[in-house]
Amino acid sequence: MKLYPDLGILIPEVYLPKAGIDLTRWATIAVDQFTSQPEYWEQVEKFVGEAPSTFRITLPEIYLEQPDEAERIQNIQKTMREYLDAGLLQPREGLIYVERTVGGKTRKGLILALDLECYDFTKGSTSLIRATEGTIVERLPPRIKIREGAPLELPHILVLIDDPARTVIEPLAAARDLLEKLYDFDLMFDSGHLTGYAVPDESGVIAALRALARPEVFAAKYGVSPDLPVLLFAMGDGNHSLATAKAIWDDKRNKGLVGMDHPSRYALVEIENVHDEALEFEPIHRVLFGLKTDIYAALEAAFGANVTYQPVESAEAMVAAVNVGAPDGQLVGLVGGGRGFGLVKISNPSTNLAVGTIQAFLDLFLKQGGAEKIDYVHGADVTVRLGGQPGNVGIYVPGMAKGDLFKTVILDGALPRKTFSMGEAREKRFYVETRKIQ
């Protein structure tokens, strides 16, 4: 086990499916996707059939808080042990360079393990590894139930580095023809293609990361004091998954249940460069289900003279207007709620981002019983389709520039939750690799 404590990195022992396993059926998408679309997961179950699959050893969040949740978790942990006992998973130590091609773009990443001792998701954290959005602690208990009794972890966590000179991951891309190919296959349901390569020597990666983490380099890049703690790794996707791993590790360590070298101290992730041309930040939209209060009247009550509503003729017009924005306020789109398509403009907003302003309103609206529940969805089409159903309303929000992420987190702290997504739903990470955590 190779540990680089100054960088918070472990070179992991990764378990991959043995030769002969159908990888297209093995790999399934991150569990926090399609949470309001049960038909997607029904298709996955039908497609996988009886084949070995990560669908059997993960719990799609659409099934959380269902009557059979406890039974599903037991079956997941049992199936993990069965896969290990049957030799379906084979270990190898080292970094893995990965390429994900979808929609004509190829995103580059690197699989490694992060030290949870270097991560703090609490507000105002200055740790080496940081959350980029607020962590909802109430969302952790069901995820803790799954992970704390599991012998394996499967990562859908994507962590970002700010490497404008492209010194860490891109040299591996240039040398990929010299690397051993570990897997190379199409993902299910038009979700693209995934290829993984063994990295036999991590020294170049470590040297490049150390250069990024030098305090003087960090200070010059962001125009801050050299005394300000370095932010090397910023969460991209899977914030609550990493927070779950952290909560379990802290609990075990504080109770003296494990030593400091226990595998649960680390979490398997994929890191990506925020400057990767194929990496796009997509907005995460909102859908309220089971409206009980007129949301338009609630907006007027909350914002008074600072809010205006303008109907538009189509979803396309709504999307186009929100994407352009307003020079004298923040703009979001609304669909449904007893009306068609419209634009809500908020003047003198309380936060710098429209998503933060509207989320603060929605939190209070839900707390006061204005709707039964909220979901966070990807894509204008899903927002329009679900928001347009009787009793629902969809909120279409603008995105943020990915180049603003690190400096915003360094100077202002975590963003409003669900501010951005690294790609749309089908572009999310698929489970392939596993690591022992018991």
Q: What is the pLDDT along the chain (438 residues), one digit of tens a residue?
A: 799 999 999 999 999 999 999 999 999 999 999 998 999 999 999 999 999 999 999 999 999 888 999 999 999 999 999 999 999 999 999 999 999 999 899 999 999 999 999 999 888 889 999 998 877 778 788 889 999 889 999 989 999 999 999 999 999 999 999 999 999 999 999 999 999 999 999 999 999 999 999 999 999 999 889 899 999 999 988 888 999 999 999 999 999 999 999 999 999 999 999 999 999 888 999 999 999 999 999 999 999 999 999 999 999 999 999 999 999 999 999 999 989 999 999 999 877 789 889 999 999 999 999 999 999 998 899 999 999 999 999 999 998 888 878 888 887 777 877 888 887 888 999 999 999 999
The amino acid at 411? L
Residue 409 lies in a domain: no
Please name every residue paired with 269 in a beta bridge, in sequence order, or none if there are none.
112
Residue 413 lies in a domain: no
Both 390 and 270 in one domain: the answer is no
Question: E strands within 230-279?
Answer: 233-237, 266-273
Both 27 and 48 in one domain: the answer is yes
Number of domains in the chain: 2
Both 21 and 129 in one domain: the answer is yes
Both 314 and 363 in one domain: the answer is yes
Residue 415 lies in a domain: no
Both 73 and 164 in one domain: the answer is yes
Both 193 and 91 in one domain: the answer is yes
Please name every residue paired with 9 in a beta bridge, in sequence order, or none if there are none.
4, 114
The token pair at 48 is 């996988």
The token pair at 367 is 């707390």
The H or E element that residue 354 is part of is: helix 354-367
Both 273 and 293 in one domain: the answer is no
Both 275 and 295 in one domain: the answer is no
Both 370 and 246 in one domain: the answer is no
Residue 402 lies in a domain: no
Residue 135 lies in a domain: yes
**Left (φ > 0), alpha (ψ -120 to 50) or beta: where does 418 sit?**
left
What residues make up the domain containing 306? 285-396
Both 100 and 238 in one domain: the answer is yes
Q: Per the confidence metrics, is the pTM higher than 0.95?
A: no
Residue 163 lies in a domain: yes
Q: How far apart are CA 153 and CA 26, in angstroms?
A: 15
Q: How far apart are CA 389 and CA 37, in angstroms?
A: 13
Q: Which residue has the tokens 């520039």?
A: 401
At residue 75, the 3 state secondary structure works out as helix
Which residue from 243, 221, 244, 248 is spatially nearest to 232, judged by alpha carbons?
A: 221
Q: Where are the alpha helices (DSSP H) in 27-92?
A: 38-48, 69-85
Residue 417 lies in a domain: no
Both 276 and 290 in one domain: the answer is no
Both 292 and 239 in one domain: the answer is no
Residue 134 lies in a domain: yes
